[in-house]
Amino acid sequence: MTEEQKIFKGELFSPGAPELRAMKLVSHNLSQAYSQAREDETEKRAALAHDILAEFGEGSFMQGPIFFHYGKHTRIGRRVFINYNFTVQDDAPVTIGDDCNFGPNCTIVTPVHPMLPDERFLMYNENGEKKHMCYARPVVIGHDCWFGANVVVCPGVTIGDNCVIGAGSVVTRDIPSDSFAAGVPCRVIRPITEADSMANKPEILGANSVIRE
């Protein structure tokens, strides 16, 4: 079994294994190239995004700078907007649905390290070799979600459709669909309902109107 296969199986793996280091180096260099590209170099940026990621949906946009650890372990849906300083440590797979929006400085992490310091330093692998090892848990984000600035999504979390995650939140557990959630750790504050429509906020709506289809 390869180290990457161990990641996908949820087992301990060695992040320093040559095969993984080679994959990460490619992603790190491509992430740097994207971050250094000008915003109006749209064709260059589009090509780089497709080189970095397993999937980058039509109409999606990453402001940059960005950082993807593996890149090819991440899938981003259509019409996703990603603001400055987006970091994805995608040892395990990361899936982001359509029509999501991320504020500045959002981070998604998947790796988990042993709690005991001696185990965190070294463990024996299947060949009896001493290795630094960790494991990883996938992150899944549904469609039509909004993430405020400085949100951190932790390993193993699933966030349902139509959620709003408040700025500065640290999401450590699953969030059900149609929820407003915030805090450290993040918790569901209340459901999002039709009462939240801008149609009910005329002082903010002004002369504009809500589209009903």
- Rounded-to-integer distance, Cα 43 and Cα 66, Å: 17
Q: Is 76 buried (19+), middle (13-18) or exposed (0-12) by CB count in 10 A?
A: buried
Whether 99 contacts 79, CB under 8 Å: yes
113 is annotated as an active-site residue: yes
Catalytic residue (choose from 28, 50, 73, 113): 113
- Rounded-to-integer distance, Cα 39 and Cα 57, Å: 18
Give the residue numbers annotated as catalytic, written as ranges: 113
